[in-house]
Amino acid sequence: MNKKIISLLLTGLTCMILNPGVFARVRLPSVLSSNMVLQQQSTVTLWGWSAPAEKIYITTSWNAITDSTTGSGDAKWNIKIKTPAAGGPYTITIKGSNRIVLENVMIGEVWVCSGQSNMEWSSLNGLTQVKEELPNSANTNLRFFHIPKTTALDPQEDCASTWTECNAETLKGFSAVAYYFGKQLQQQLNVPIGLINTSWGGTAAEVWAPEDVVEKDPELKSAAEKIGATNWWPHLPGRAYNAMIAPITPFHIAGTIWYQGESNTGTASTYKKLMTSLIDSWRKDWNTNFPFYYVQIAPFAYGNKHMGALLREAQTQTLTHPNTGMVVITDLVDNIKDVHPQNKKDVGARLAAWALAETYNKVGLAYKSPMYKNMVINKNKATVYFDNAPNGLILKGDKKKATEFFIAGEDKNFLPAEVKIEGDHVVLTHKQIKNPVAVRFAFSNTAIANIFSKEGLPVNPFRTDDWEVDTTKE
């Protein structure tokens, strides 16, 4: 080999030994990319990797201020940046041994959208509503970050995706529920909206919770062991959380929407504990008590009696957890033999109404379904009172009587009740029951009732008893 070439190689090798940073370049996680939305009027984290002790300068165009930080001994860096009120587009320049410019950055509201197939489904799954919307969907103030289906044994620091603007092409495979939620927020708040879609059809909630949350609790661990393995989705605790939630937890968000539960109907008795534990763990990881709004599962023929009803009951009980909200969709079902209701537009709109009212303090919105309050027994009558029905209750549809109310005496035999609506309460009777003790409403897998608040929201399913429920095959 030519002596000159050898000399150059030796010089280069010496340089690399003495200056290991020559191979180190400032890098960013995928969630920090051009086209992203950062949470407005907050302190957000920018982070990544670099050479140890490398000086890194960050300049934000909304204030033309340059801040700096230094890479740590484990080749990582992070910095806190204050964001202004909603607006953009802006640029963020990150300079170390190399220079990165993030362009078309918006400041607005950021929401995580997670769950199983009813959150995941898009126009690619044949949803007609979204297909019809595609040609007119372009909106530079609505941005998507879609995390691909991935699992990991341990919490990851990055995921493979990038931010995009909403248009006919990017919307095709994006969550329909998330889209309609984000579109409604964008229109009502008139600010940029960023949606992070991290969902996977068929997944039980256990795979979205940190593994130790499930494994350290005997009840949750026992329930998780009942979830069978498939070739279509993960079943072990923490696997989706590690790859699809953990990488984005440093990214500041406004809140989360969630649509899941169908795959947990076999373990409904532990679902409230599981979900409150999941919510708490996510809030701990994000270091903020963000709102968590979720969708109650829809009527569906599960095969075993009351499985869906018990899961809906657990979801209702989860409402006692702070800063949560639940959308009831018993009326948005076109086929009880299809676990995927086609109407995602109204689901997204109802979630948006919760966020607009509770998170953004918009007034005059009807967003809470009537909820069971209490029951008063007087001789042969059971009078049931409801919250969230300020203007009373009404019937919808072509039936002249309220359906799905059942009443029972001490024999625990439930019979269809005669129903009289009186403002915000109903009076229930049955000629064979002289001394009623319990009432159930829409407490079955497939019940689609016809009683609503005057604001148009369906009454939430409930029961007043705590008797053992039959879950045998139908």
pLDDT in tens, 114-148: 999 999 999 999 999 999 999 999 999 999 999 99
Please give the pLDDT value at position 195. 99
Between strands 405-408 and 438-441, the pairing is antiparallel
> In this model, does residue 218 exceed pLDDT 60?
yes
**Distance between alpha carbon 451 and the CA centroid of its chain, in Å?**
27
Mean pLDDT computed over 190-218? 98
Q: In which residue are the tokens 């005496």 written?
A: 409
For the entire predicted model, the pTM comes to 0.94
Please give the pLDDT value at position 188. 98
Whole-number Å distance between alpha carbons of 432 and 411? 12
pLDDT digits (tens, 9 = 90+) for 143-184: 999 999 999 999 999 999 999 999 999 999 999 999 999 999
The pair of structure tokens assigned to 273 is: 């504990």
Mean pLDDT computed over 305-323? 98
Question: Among 335, 352, 330, 326, which Cα is nearest to 271's?
Answer: 326
The one-letter amino acid code at 314 reads A
Mean pLDDT computed over 77-86? 98
Whole-number Å distance between alpha carbons of 73 and 20? 13
Omega prior to 89 cis, within 30 of 0: yes
Please give the pLDDT value at position 16. 41
The one-letter amino acid code at 229 reads A
Q: Which residues contact 65 (CB under 8 A, 6 or more apart)?
A: 59
Whole-number Å distance between alpha carbons of 78 and 100? 15
> In this model, does residue 13 exceed pLDDT 90?
no
Mean pLDDT computed over 57-83? 97
Kindly write down the DSSP assignment for every residue of 433-466, as one continuous string: BSS--EEEES-SSS----EEETTS-BPPPEES--
> In this model, does residue 22 exceed pLDDT 60?
no
> In this model, does residue 240 exceed pLDDT 80?
yes
The pair of structure tokens assigned to 73 is: 């001994």
Whole-number Å distance between alpha carbons of 375 and 363? 30
Mean pLDDT computed over 230-235? 97
Given its phi and psi angles, is residue 404 left (phi above 0), alpha (psi -120 to 50 degrees) or beta? left
> In this model, does residue 2 exceed pLDDT 90?
no
pLDDT averaged over the chain? 95
Please give the pLDDT value at position 1. 47
Mean pLDDT computed over 417-421? 98
Please give the pLDDT value at position 4. 46
Mean pLDDT computed over 267-284? 98
pLDDT band at 398 (very low <50, low <70, confident <90, very high): confident
What is the signed CA dihedral for 411, 414, 418, 422, rounded to 10 degrees? Answer: 90
> In this model, does residue 17 exceed pLDDT 60?
no
pLDDT band at 20 (very low <50, low <70, confident <90, very high): very low
> In this model, does residue 8 exceed pLDDT 90?
no
> In this model, does residue 226 exceed pLDDT 90?
yes
Q: What is the percent of the chain where pLDDT is above 90?
A: 94
Q: In which residue are the tokens 């995009």 written?
A: 164
Count of Cβ atoms closer than 10 Å to residue 3 Cβ? 7
Domains of the chain, first to last: 24-106 (2.60.40.10), 108-359 (3.40.50.1110), 371-463 (no CATH)
Mean pLDDT computed over 365-390? 98
Count of Cβ atoms closer than 10 Å to residue 160 Cβ? 10
Please give the pLDDT value at position 311. 98
> In this model, does residue 18 exceed pLDDT 90?
no
The pair of structure tokens assigned to 331 is: 């009326």
Whole-number Å distance between alpha carbons of 448 and 398? 13
Q: Which residues contact 388 (CB under 8 A, 6 or more apart)?
A: 368, 369, 370, 371, 453, 457
Mean pLDDT computed over 336-359? 98
Question: Among 159, 54, 7, 183, which Cα is nearest to 109's?
Answer: 183
